Structure 1
Amino acid sequence: MIDYLRLLDADAADHKAVTGVLRRFPLPPEWGVDLYLLDESTHPTGSLKHRLARALFRDALRRGALAPGATVVEATGGNAAVAQAYVARLLGHPFAAVMPRRSAPEKIARIEDLGGTVHLVHPPLAIYDEAERLAEQRGGHYMNYLAASADAIAASAGGEDDIGHVLFERLPVVPDWIVVGAGSGGTATAIGRRIADISGETRPRLAVVDPENSAYFPGWAYGADDYTTGMPSRIEGIGRPRVEPGFDASVVDVVMPVPDAASLAAMRFLCGTTGLRAGASTGTNLWGALQLVAQFVRDGRRGAIATLICDDGDLYPTTYWSDAWLDEKGIAIEPWTKALEGFQRTGVLEPPSP
C-alpha cells in the first residue's frame, strides 16, 4: 500500500532548503528597523499555496475524506488549483479544477501541464456548486480550500505545511508586526494562532492587508462576519467578495485597506530595490509593511516587521507586469511609485493626493 503521508513528507523535505528563505528588505540602518520577507515563491508550483495544498491533502487523508485514487475537485483557477494539481499527481489522484469561463489560457495550461483537467463554467460564482456536483458525480472529494484551509494548516501544526511555524523558525527575532493578506484566510489565521501561543511583551501583532473590492476590511471594521461586496479582487491570491469561514478575525489586530495601484507600485518597487520579481499580493504585503516602518521612523522606534513574498512574478507576464494591462484597467501606479521613492529617502510614506 502506498504511504501517501510519507510522499507528502518527502516533498516537504526535498524542497525545504530552497523554500521559505528569509530575506531582508534594505532600509537605512539609522532608522533602526528591520523588514524581513519570507520568500514562498520558490516552491515547485511558485507560490505559498504549495504548503497549503500539502496540508489539505494530508488532512483529508488522515480524516478518511479522500479515498485512495479518488478524484480531487477544487473550485478555483488560481495558484491553489495549480498546487493541488501538483500534489494530486504526486499521490496518484485525478484532479479537476472548476474555473470561470473567462479564465486566462496560461492558468488553464499550468493545471493541464500538471495532469489536471479544467471545467469552465459561467457565471463565475457557479464554480462552487459545480465543483460540489462534479465531485459527487465522480465519487471524489471536493477539497473546498476556502472553508478547509485554516483547519488543515492547524492539523499540520509544527511542520513544513504550517506557515506560522515556518515563519517563526526562520526569523532571527520575534518581530513587532507580521503583515499578511487574506484570500481563504488560512494563512492569516494560522499565523495569528501561532502568535497567540506567545506570551509577554514580545508577542507580535498581526496586520492583514486587504485589496480593493474585498470584504475583509469592511467586515473587520463593522464587526460583520457575513459581510459581502459582490466584487472580485484584482489582486490574485488575496481579497474575497465575502468573509470566508477560514478567516478568524479574533487573532487579527488590524486590517489595512490597500489600493490596487499601491500594491502594483510596491510590487515593482520591490523588484527595482532588491531584484526580487514577485506577484501583486506581495506588493500589497509590502505596502502595508512599509506603512508600519514609516510609523516606526516617525515615532523614533526601533523594531522588526515580517511579511511574505507570496508567489513568483513570472506567473503574471500579461497582467501585473504588463504596462498594457495596467492601461487597460486604468491603473496609474506612477504617483504611488513616487511616494515609495520618497519614502526611501525620507522614511515618510504618504499616499498620493486623489
Structure 2
Amino acid sequence: MNIEFIEALEEIEEEKGISKEIILEALESALISSYKKNFGSSQNVEIEIDENSGIVKVFAKKNVVEKVENELMEISLEDAKNIDDKYQLGDVVNIEITPKNFGRIAAQTAKQVIIQRIKDAERDVIYEEFADRENEIITGTVQRVSRNNVYIDLGKTEGILPPSEQIEGEIYEQGDRLKLYILEVKKTTKGPQIILSRSHPGLVKRLFELEVPEIHDGIVDIYAISREAGSRTKIAVFSRDPNVDPVGACVGFKGSRVKAIVEELNGEKIDIIVWSKNIEEFIANSLSPSKVLKVEVNEQEKSALVVVPDYQLSLAIGKEGQNARLAAKLTNWKIDIKSESQYKDNFISE
C-alpha cells in the first residue's frame, strides 16, 4: 500500500462519513488474520500502518524471559539486550518480520475491508433512517413475491410484507405501487429488515392524516380505530373546534377524502363515527349504520345492553357479527344487542 491508499481513506471519510481510524483499526485486525493464515498462526503479531506513507509492517511480539521455552512467543533477556539495553525481564519486544510479498496481501485485504465497511456504514444509515420512521406510512413498489412474502422496493432498500400483514384477498403484482405501514425495523447481520403492513389499523390512521388536513393540523383527532382488514373499519373521531364537524371533515366534499382512502384499501368499507365522553352515546354511535333506541351500561363490568328496532337487528349485529365485534373493539366494552321485541319480552317485567 502507499500514500494513494491513505488519500483514498480520507476521501471515503469525507464522502461516506466513515472514520479513517475505524477503517485502519479494522484493517489491522484483518491483516493479523491474513498473516496468521498465510505465514503461521502461532505467533503473537502486531500490524503497524504508517498513516502518512501507507507502508504496512508486521511485528512479532515476544515476552522477555530468562529461559526461552517457546521461540515464537518468547525472547531471552540476552537477545533482547542485543536489540536494546533498556529491555528487562517481563518486557515485550517488537521484532519486525514483514514478509517480502506482504504488501500485495495487504492491498487485497484493504480492498475487502473497505468494501465491507462501506456496506456496513450504508446499512447503518438505512437502519437509522427507517428506525426513526416506525409507525409511519410509506409508498413502495412491488418488486417480487416469494413464498407468500411480498418484497417492496422502498428506494434505498427493500421491505417485506409478510403473509400475516397482507390484506386477505388482495393480489400483489410486480410494479404495483402501494401505501404501506412501517410496522417494525430490525437490525440484522445482512442489514436492516423492514417489516411492512397493509392490514394494521395504523395504516388507516396514517391515510386519514394524509387525506384530512384537519387531522394533520390537530383540529380533528382520531380517538380509536378497529379494523378487519379488507372488509371493514370503524374509526372514532372528535373535533377540538366546535365549528368543525369531525365526520364531515373526514368524509370530505362529496365524499372525496374517504373515497380516496377506500380506493387505496381496495374497497374496504369505512364507518366514521363521532366519539363522545358519554359512553352510552359513544356505544350507540359505534353501531353505525344501525339506529339505536336505548343503551344500558354496567360500569363495573364494562358491558352494555343495546336495544335496536326489530327491523335493524341484523344490521346492528352485521354479517357474521362483524358490526357488533368492531363496535366492541372500538369502544373496548362488551356489547349485547337486543331487538326492541326481545328487550320487552325479556327485560321488562309486567
TM over 0.5: no
Structure with the bigger RCO (C-alpha within 8 Å, sep 6+) is 1
More helix by share: 1
More strand by share: 2
Normalised TM-score (structure 1): 0.26
Normalised TM-score (structure 2): 0.27
- Of structures 1 and 2, the larger Rg is shown by 2
